[in-house]
Amino acid sequence: MIRVAICGGSGYTGGELLRILSKHPVVTITAVTSERSAGKSVVDLFPNLHKYSNLIYEPLHVEDILDRAELFFMALPHGESQGAVDFFFRNGKKVIDLSADYRFKDIKTYEEWYRVSHKFQRTLEKAVYGLPELYRKKIAKASLVANPGCYPTGAILGLYPVIKNKLIDVASIVIDSKSGTSGAGRKSDVEYSYCEVNEGFKAYAVVGHRHTPEMEQELSAIAGKAIKVNFTPHLAPFDRGILTTMYVRLIESVDTEKIIELYKKTYTNEPFVKVLDVGRFPNVKNLRGTNLCEIGLIVNIRTNTLIIITAIDNLVKGASGQAVHNMNIMMGFDEKTALDTAGLFP
């Protein structure tokens, strides 16, 4: 058994960590923090998690909880996570940070896009970007894992095989994402109230979304050269899921079958990536509650363009499920522990 603490456990990401970990046979949750909900029990905030009626939110005092866990999940807002992560890391703990604070190799990029200064460069240098399909070996040895953003997860997994194999013009990348509303978090904001979102559909943060540089960092690393992308997120009227439709110009003409073969080969040993057969495309509905990323592919031979469509559950593969996957790798557990579930349909 390992003891685990969750810092920032009152949002959707925190609730999802609790839900997933409730199925984990060798994990005990010893602390869960929330400033606003301190004193309340988990079941007060998440009536679906009735097993946790005895788990009480406490304010985050890093010294107080340091000795109560071997591993810390950090689900705090960007900027607020930095210091606590650094503290636990320096004290020899394993840390999985779900915020953006430790995702960027280049501290300037972080500071520019997030408009926060970063005070822990040394710790930042030790962080591993927690996308298991690309960095499994590093994650296994890491003490600090920066869990990827939801949009980058679906985009990078979709683009990795063709960039790696130099099949596309990397100056042509279009990433058009549609996200369920849980991606906005659990907060009081008229913009995300039911009657504003329901029956609506809109783009937001057009050109300026903060996940853009995160995608670019990872895609550039794969390509071995600087890549800039066109990324547009959209807010959609459903709870969970991100569907990402990508358009990339092929350097030479390749047929759909060959592309699918390449993707299947690339991800053949990956428990959480599923490449669909010719003519099949993913639907976020089938993935609710699962840690899967599904990928559908087709070449438009009239324009020599590859269309790549990926789908994930933003709260699972896009956040808490991937965090648990990272924990499993870091701790040497079977990777699928607590994550091997069928989606809830309908």
Sign of CA dihedral 85, 290, 219, 204: negative
Active site residue 195: no
- CB of 235 vs a copy of itself, minimal distance in Å: 9
- Which one of 7, 150, 195, 293 is the catalytic residue? 150
Assign 40 to helix, strand or coil.
coil
Among 34, 99, 181, 217, binds a copy of itself (CB under 8 A): 181
Residue 152 binds to a copy of itself (criterion: CB under 8 A): no
Residue 295 binds to a copy of itself (criterion: CB under 8 A): no
- CB of 275 vs a copy of itself, minimal distance in Å: 12
Residue 230 binds to a copy of itself (criterion: CB under 8 A): yes
Residue the block writes with tokens 């600087």: 226
Among 132, 149, 296, 321, binds a copy of itself (CB under 8 A): 296
List the interface residues with a copy of itself, window 204-223 (CB under 8 A). 204, 206-207
Among 70, 232, 251, 270, binds a copy of itself (CB under 8 A): 232
List the interface residues with a copy of itself, window 236-265 (CB under 8 A). 236-241, 243, 245, 247
Residue 199 binds to a copy of itself (criterion: CB under 8 A): yes
Among 111, 224, 303, 336, binds a copy of itself (CB under 8 A): 303
- CB of 257 vs a copy of itself, minimal distance in Å: 14
Sign of CA dihedral 231, 232, 235, 237: negative
- CB of 122 vs a copy of itself, minimal distance in Å: 30
Stretch that binds a copy of itself, among 24-32, 108-116, 200-208, 259-267 (CB under 8 A): 200-208
The secondary structure of residue 192, as a DSSP letter, is: G
Token code pair at residue 328: 């499993």
Stretch that binds a copy of itself, among 57-65, 88-96, 150-158, 171-179 (CB under 8 A): 171-179
User: Measured from the CB atom, is 123 or 314 closer to a copy of itself?
Assistant: 314
Report the distance separating Cα 40 and Cα 203, nearest Å: 36
User: Measured from the CB atom, is 41 or 143 closer to a copy of itself?
Assistant: 41
Among 83, 116, 285, 331, binds a copy of itself (CB under 8 A): 285
Q: What is the 3-state secondary structure (H, E, C) of 114-126?
A: HCCCCCCHHHHHH
Asked whether 3 and 70 are in contact (CB, 8 A), the reply is yes
- CA proximity to 144, closest of 99, 110, 93, 81: 93
Q: Which residues contact 265 (CB under 8 A, 6 or more apart)?
A: none
Cis peptide before 152 (omega within 30 of 0): no
108, with CB counted inside 10 A (0-12, 13-18, 19+), is exposed
Amino acid at 62: V
List the interface residues with a copy of itself, window 63-82 (CB under 8 A). none
List the interface residues with a copy of itself, window 308-327 (CB under 8 A). 309, 311
Residue 87 binds to a copy of itself (criterion: CB under 8 A): no
Residue 194 binds to a copy of itself (criterion: CB under 8 A): yes
* Element at 73 (helix H, strand E): strand 71-74
Asked whether 42 and 18 are in contact (CB, 8 A), the reply is yes
Sign of CA dihedral 246, 250, 254, 260: negative
The secondary structure of residue 316, as a DSSP letter, is: I
- CA proximity to 284, closest of 135, 212, 196, 177: 177
Residue 270 binds to a copy of itself (criterion: CB under 8 A): no
Residue 284 binds to a copy of itself (criterion: CB under 8 A): yes
Stretch that binds a copy of itself, among 59-67, 71-79, 129-137, 278-286 (CB under 8 A): 278-286
List active site positions. 150
